Amino acid sequence: MSAHGVAGRAGTVRLGSGPGSPTVNRLGYGAMQITGDGVWGPPADRDGAIAVLRRAVELGVDFVDTADSYGPYVSEELIREALHPYDGVTIATKGGLLRTGPREWHPCGRPEYLRQEVEMSLRRLGLEQIPLYQLHRVDPLVPLEDSVGELAALQKEGKIAAIGLSEVDVPQIQAAQAIAEIVSVQNRFNLADRVHEAVLNHCEAAGIAFIPWYPVATGALARPGGVLDEFARSHGATPAQLALAWLLRRSPVMLPIPGTKSVAHLEENVAAVDVTLSDEEFTRLSAAA
Protein backbone atom coordinates (compact mmCIF):
# COMPACT_ATOMS: atom_id res chain seq x y z
CA MET A 1 0.00 0.00 0.00
CA SER A 2 2.79 2.44 0.89
CA ALA A 3 4.05 2.57 -2.69
CA HIS A 4 0.69 3.59 -4.13
CA GLY A 5 -1.80 6.41 -3.84
CA VAL A 6 -1.54 10.16 -3.53
CA ALA A 7 -0.11 10.01 0.01
CA GLY A 8 2.86 8.06 -1.30
CA ARG A 9 4.13 11.26 -2.92
CA ALA A 10 4.92 12.62 0.56
CA GLY A 11 7.89 10.26 0.86
CA THR A 12 8.31 7.72 3.62
CA VAL A 13 9.63 7.34 7.14
CA ARG A 14 10.66 4.16 8.94
CA LEU A 15 9.25 3.35 12.36
CA GLY A 16 12.21 1.76 14.11
CA SER A 17 15.54 0.19 13.22
CA GLY A 18 14.72 -3.51 13.37
CA PRO A 19 14.39 -5.76 10.32
CA GLY A 20 10.60 -5.90 10.64
CA SER A 21 10.10 -2.17 11.21
CA PRO A 22 7.42 -0.76 8.90
CA THR A 23 8.04 2.05 6.44
CA VAL A 24 5.00 4.32 6.05
CA ASN A 25 4.02 7.28 3.92
CA ARG A 26 4.73 10.61 5.61
CA LEU A 27 1.11 11.72 5.63
CA GLY A 28 -1.05 9.68 7.96
CA TYR A 29 -4.52 10.00 9.41
CA GLY A 30 -5.36 10.88 13.01
CA ALA A 31 -8.59 9.20 14.09
CA MET A 32 -9.62 11.39 17.03
CA GLN A 33 -12.34 13.35 15.21
CA ILE A 34 -14.39 10.33 14.14
CA THR A 35 -15.88 10.17 17.65
CA GLY A 36 -18.68 12.25 19.16
CA ASP A 37 -18.54 15.82 20.42
CA GLY A 38 -15.78 16.37 22.95
CA VAL A 39 -14.09 13.15 21.72
CA TRP A 40 -16.82 11.34 23.65
CA GLY A 41 -19.22 8.68 22.47
CA PRO A 42 -20.07 7.58 18.94
CA PRO A 43 -20.02 9.93 15.95
CA ALA A 44 -23.21 11.56 14.73
CA ASP A 45 -22.56 9.98 11.33
CA ARG A 46 -21.16 6.47 11.76
CA ASP A 47 -21.32 5.66 8.05
CA GLY A 48 -19.48 8.89 7.32
CA ALA A 49 -16.70 7.96 9.75
CA ILE A 50 -16.31 4.56 8.09
CA ALA A 51 -16.21 6.23 4.67
CA VAL A 52 -13.44 8.63 5.76
CA LEU A 53 -11.27 5.79 7.04
CA ARG A 54 -11.69 3.76 3.87
CA ARG A 55 -11.13 6.75 1.61
CA ALA A 56 -7.91 7.57 3.47
CA VAL A 57 -6.53 4.15 2.63
CA GLU A 58 -7.68 4.48 -0.99
CA LEU A 59 -5.63 7.69 -1.16
CA GLY A 60 -2.51 5.85 -0.02
CA VAL A 61 -2.61 6.68 3.68
CA ASP A 62 -0.99 3.67 5.33
CA PHE A 63 -0.52 4.99 8.86
CA VAL A 64 -3.62 5.43 11.05
CA ASP A 65 -3.18 6.84 14.55
CA THR A 66 -5.76 6.37 17.29
CA ALA A 67 -6.00 5.90 21.09
CA ASP A 68 -8.12 3.93 23.53
CA SER A 69 -9.24 7.26 25.01
CA TYR A 70 -10.86 8.47 21.78
CA GLY A 71 -14.50 7.85 22.55
CA PRO A 72 -13.27 6.15 24.69
CA TYR A 73 -12.82 2.99 22.61
CA VAL A 74 -15.07 4.23 19.79
CA SER A 75 -12.26 5.17 17.41
CA GLU A 76 -10.54 1.79 17.70
CA GLU A 77 -13.84 -0.02 17.13
CA LEU A 78 -14.59 2.02 14.00
CA ILE A 79 -11.10 1.42 12.64
CA ARG A 80 -11.57 -2.32 12.98
CA GLU A 81 -14.97 -2.18 11.29
CA ALA A 82 -13.65 -0.08 8.41
CA LEU A 83 -10.17 -1.44 7.81
CA HIS A 84 -9.59 -4.88 9.36
CA PRO A 85 -7.48 -6.89 8.45
CA TYR A 86 -5.39 -3.77 7.71
CA ASP A 87 -3.67 -5.04 4.59
CA GLY A 88 -0.61 -2.81 4.21
CA VAL A 89 -1.84 -0.32 6.84
CA THR A 90 0.08 0.31 10.07
CA ILE A 91 -2.20 0.94 13.05
CA ALA A 92 -0.84 2.97 15.95
CA THR A 93 -2.75 3.39 19.19
CA LYS A 94 -2.08 4.98 22.56
CA GLY A 95 -2.82 4.38 26.23
CA GLY A 96 -2.33 6.33 29.41
CA LEU A 97 -5.24 8.78 29.55
CA LEU A 98 -8.41 8.07 31.52
CA ARG A 99 -11.68 9.62 30.37
CA THR A 100 -14.37 10.78 32.79
CA GLY A 101 -16.49 12.78 30.36
CA PRO A 102 -16.44 14.99 27.25
CA ARG A 103 -13.18 16.99 27.02
CA GLU A 104 -11.94 15.43 30.28
CA TRP A 105 -8.54 13.71 30.21
CA HIS A 106 -6.53 12.35 33.16
CA PRO A 107 -3.05 10.76 32.92
CA CYS A 108 -2.73 7.21 34.21
CA GLY A 109 0.59 5.54 33.60
CA ARG A 110 0.39 2.76 36.16
CA PRO A 111 1.93 -0.42 34.72
CA GLU A 112 -1.09 -2.56 35.50
CA TYR A 113 -3.40 -0.07 33.79
CA LEU A 114 -1.24 0.12 30.66
CA ARG A 115 -1.14 -3.68 30.48
CA GLN A 116 -4.91 -3.83 30.73
CA GLU A 117 -5.34 -1.21 28.00
CA VAL A 118 -2.94 -3.00 25.64
CA GLU A 119 -4.94 -6.21 26.06
CA MET A 120 -8.21 -4.37 25.42
CA SER A 121 -6.84 -2.51 22.38
CA LEU A 122 -5.65 -5.81 20.91
CA ARG A 123 -9.18 -7.17 21.27
CA ARG A 124 -10.94 -4.07 19.91
CA LEU A 125 -8.62 -3.75 16.92
CA GLY A 126 -8.64 -7.47 16.18
CA LEU A 127 -4.85 -7.72 16.33
CA GLU A 128 -2.40 -10.24 17.75
CA GLN A 129 0.25 -7.52 17.96
CA ILE A 130 -0.11 -3.73 17.95
CA PRO A 131 2.38 -2.30 15.41
CA LEU A 132 2.99 0.91 17.39
CA TYR A 133 1.85 1.54 20.96
CA GLN A 134 2.41 5.01 22.40
CA LEU A 135 2.37 6.25 25.99
CA HIS A 136 -0.29 8.94 25.61
CA ARG A 137 0.92 11.08 28.53
CA VAL A 138 3.57 10.85 31.18
CA ASP A 139 1.80 10.39 34.53
CA PRO A 140 3.34 12.79 37.11
CA LEU A 141 2.47 10.27 39.85
CA VAL A 142 4.23 7.32 38.18
CA PRO A 143 7.95 7.14 37.32
CA LEU A 144 8.39 7.24 33.55
CA GLU A 145 10.70 4.25 33.85
CA ASP A 146 7.85 2.19 35.30
CA SER A 147 5.44 3.07 32.50
CA VAL A 148 7.94 2.53 29.70
CA GLY A 149 9.30 -0.55 31.45
CA GLU A 150 5.86 -2.16 31.29
CA LEU A 151 5.57 -1.36 27.59
CA ALA A 152 9.00 -2.92 27.08
CA ALA A 153 7.79 -6.05 28.87
CA LEU A 154 4.70 -6.17 26.63
CA GLN A 155 6.97 -5.77 23.64
CA LYS A 156 9.08 -8.75 24.73
CA GLU A 157 5.86 -10.75 25.09
CA GLY A 158 5.03 -9.92 21.47
CA LYS A 159 1.90 -7.90 22.24
CA ILE A 160 3.31 -4.65 20.85
CA ALA A 161 5.90 -4.32 18.09
CA ALA A 162 7.21 -0.81 18.72
CA ILE A 163 7.00 1.87 21.41
CA GLY A 164 6.31 5.59 21.08
CA LEU A 165 5.78 8.55 23.39
CA SER A 166 3.49 11.58 23.37
CA GLU A 167 3.91 15.09 24.81
CA VAL A 168 7.42 14.62 26.13
CA ASP A 169 10.61 16.67 26.38
CA VAL A 170 14.12 15.62 25.39
CA PRO A 171 15.20 14.38 28.87
CA GLN A 172 12.08 12.20 29.03
CA ILE A 173 12.83 10.75 25.60
CA GLN A 174 16.40 10.01 26.67
CA ALA A 175 15.20 8.34 29.88
CA ALA A 176 12.84 6.17 27.86
CA GLN A 177 15.53 5.37 25.29
CA ALA A 178 17.62 3.87 28.09
CA ILE A 179 14.85 1.28 28.59
CA ALA A 180 13.56 0.55 25.09
CA GLU A 181 13.90 1.70 21.49
CA ILE A 182 11.60 4.69 20.99
CA VAL A 183 10.46 4.85 17.36
CA SER A 184 8.08 7.83 17.50
CA VAL A 185 7.26 10.97 19.44
CA GLN A 186 3.87 12.64 19.11
CA ASN A 187 3.90 16.24 20.33
CA ARG A 188 1.79 19.27 19.47
CA PHE A 189 3.55 21.07 16.64
CA ASN A 190 2.49 23.22 13.71
CA LEU A 191 3.58 26.25 11.72
CA ALA A 192 2.21 28.63 14.37
CA ASP A 193 3.22 26.61 17.47
CA ARG A 194 6.80 25.35 17.49
CA VAL A 195 7.57 25.12 21.19
CA HIS A 196 8.86 21.57 20.65
CA GLU A 197 11.60 22.46 18.13
CA ALA A 198 14.24 20.92 20.42
CA VAL A 199 12.27 17.68 20.56
CA LEU A 200 11.94 17.60 16.78
CA ASN A 201 15.67 18.19 16.38
CA HIS A 202 16.43 15.36 18.83
CA CYS A 203 14.11 13.04 16.95
CA GLU A 204 15.70 13.91 13.63
CA ALA A 205 19.18 13.23 14.99
CA ALA A 206 18.07 9.93 16.52
CA GLY A 207 16.01 8.74 13.55
CA ILE A 208 12.76 8.88 15.54
CA ALA A 209 9.55 9.64 13.65
CA PHE A 210 8.02 12.93 14.83
CA ILE A 211 4.22 12.91 14.70
CA PRO A 212 2.85 16.44 15.07
CA TRP A 213 -0.67 16.59 16.42
CA TYR A 214 -2.84 19.62 15.66
CA PRO A 215 -0.74 19.95 12.49
CA VAL A 216 -2.81 22.35 10.41
CA ALA A 217 -3.29 25.14 12.97
CA THR A 218 -2.32 28.41 11.33
CA GLY A 219 -3.63 31.05 13.73
CA ALA A 220 -3.26 34.64 12.56
CA LEU A 221 -0.89 33.51 9.81
CA ALA A 222 -3.87 32.71 7.58
CA ARG A 223 -5.39 36.18 7.85
CA PRO A 224 -6.16 37.85 4.49
CA GLY A 225 -3.10 39.50 3.05
CA GLY A 226 -0.69 37.59 5.26
CA VAL A 227 2.23 35.57 3.95
CA LEU A 228 0.39 32.25 4.30
CA ASP A 229 -2.63 33.62 2.46
CA GLU A 230 -0.32 35.04 -0.22
CA PHE A 231 1.47 31.74 -0.82
CA ALA A 232 -1.76 29.74 -0.71
CA ARG A 233 -3.19 31.91 -3.46
CA SER A 234 -0.05 31.64 -5.58
CA HIS A 235 -0.14 27.84 -5.30
CA GLY A 236 -3.89 27.56 -5.80
CA ALA A 237 -3.98 25.84 -2.40
CA THR A 238 -5.58 26.35 0.99
CA PRO A 239 -3.74 27.68 4.06
CA ALA A 240 -4.12 24.24 5.67
CA GLN A 241 -2.42 22.62 2.68
CA LEU A 242 0.44 25.12 2.93
CA ALA A 243 0.76 24.37 6.65
CA LEU A 244 1.04 20.63 5.91
CA ALA A 245 3.49 21.26 3.06
CA TRP A 246 5.63 23.31 5.46
CA LEU A 247 5.66 20.46 7.98
CA LEU A 248 6.65 17.91 5.36
CA ARG A 249 9.46 20.19 4.22
CA ARG A 250 10.60 20.95 7.79
CA SER A 251 12.08 17.51 8.55
CA PRO A 252 12.47 14.09 6.90
CA VAL A 253 11.20 12.42 10.10
CA MET A 254 7.99 14.47 10.14
CA LEU A 255 4.81 12.36 9.96
CA PRO A 256 1.74 14.63 10.08
CA ILE A 257 -1.59 12.99 10.91
CA PRO A 258 -4.32 15.52 10.07
CA GLY A 259 -7.71 14.29 11.19
CA THR A 260 -11.18 15.03 9.89
CA LYS A 261 -14.67 13.53 9.75
CA SER A 262 -15.24 14.77 6.19
CA VAL A 263 -14.17 12.94 3.02
CA ALA A 264 -13.83 16.25 1.16
CA HIS A 265 -11.59 17.68 3.88
CA LEU A 266 -9.57 14.46 3.93
CA GLU A 267 -8.97 14.71 0.19
CA GLU A 268 -7.92 18.36 0.61
CA ASN A 269 -5.43 17.41 3.32
CA VAL A 270 -3.89 14.57 1.33
CA ALA A 271 -3.54 16.83 -1.72
CA ALA A 272 -1.07 18.89 0.32
CA VAL A 273 1.62 16.39 -0.70
CA ASP A 274 1.62 17.99 -4.15
CA VAL A 275 2.31 21.49 -2.81
CA THR A 276 6.04 22.19 -3.14
CA LEU A 277 7.46 25.18 -1.31
CA SER A 278 10.46 27.00 -2.70
CA ASP A 279 13.40 27.71 -0.39
CA GLU A 280 12.29 31.34 -0.16
CA GLU A 281 8.69 30.40 0.65
CA PHE A 282 9.78 27.94 3.34
CA THR A 283 12.10 30.52 4.90
CA ARG A 284 9.50 33.30 4.83
CA LEU A 285 6.81 31.06 6.33
CA SER A 286 9.18 29.92 9.07
CA ALA A 287 10.13 33.49 9.89
CA ALA A 288 6.54 34.74 9.81
CA ALA A 289 5.59 32.28 12.53
Q: What is the mean pLDDT of each run of 10 residues along the chain (289 residues)?
A: 75 94 97 97 98 98 98 98 98 98 98 98 98 98 98 98 98 98 98 95 98 88 86 94 96 97 97 96 91
Assigned domain for 140 exists: yes
CA distance linking residue 77 with residue 112, whole number of Å: 23
Which residue from 164, 159, 250, 259 is spatially nearest to 216, judged by alpha carbons? 259
CA distance linking residue 253 with residue 217, whole number of Å: 19
Which pTM does this prediction carry? 0.96
CATH number, position 37: 3.20.20.100
Reported as a single tens digit per residue, the pLDDT across 117-133 is 999 999 999 999 999 99
**The pLDDT of residue 173:** 98
Q: What are the helix (H) ranges across the chain?
A: 46-58, 74-83, 111-125, 144-156, 170-177, 197-206, 227-235, 239-250, 263-270, 279-288
CA distance linking residue 179 with residue 15, whole number of Å: 17
Q: Specify the pairing of strand 132-135 against strand 63-65.
A: unpaired
Assigned domain for 1 exists: no
Assigned domain for 154 exists: yes
Assigned domain for 91 exists: yes
Assigned domain for 108 exists: yes
Reported as a single tens digit per residue, the pLDDT across 63-105 is 999 999 999 999 999 999 999 999 999 999 999 999 999 999 9
Q: Domain of 18? A: 6-288
**Residues belonging to the active site:** 70
Contact 127, 158 (CB under 8 A): no
**The pLDDT of residue 217:** 81
Which residue from 22, 82, 93, 20 is spatially nearest to 57, judged by alpha carbons? 82
> In the chain, how many domains are there?
1
CB atoms within 10 A of CB 251: 18
Contact 215, 190 (CB under 8 A): yes
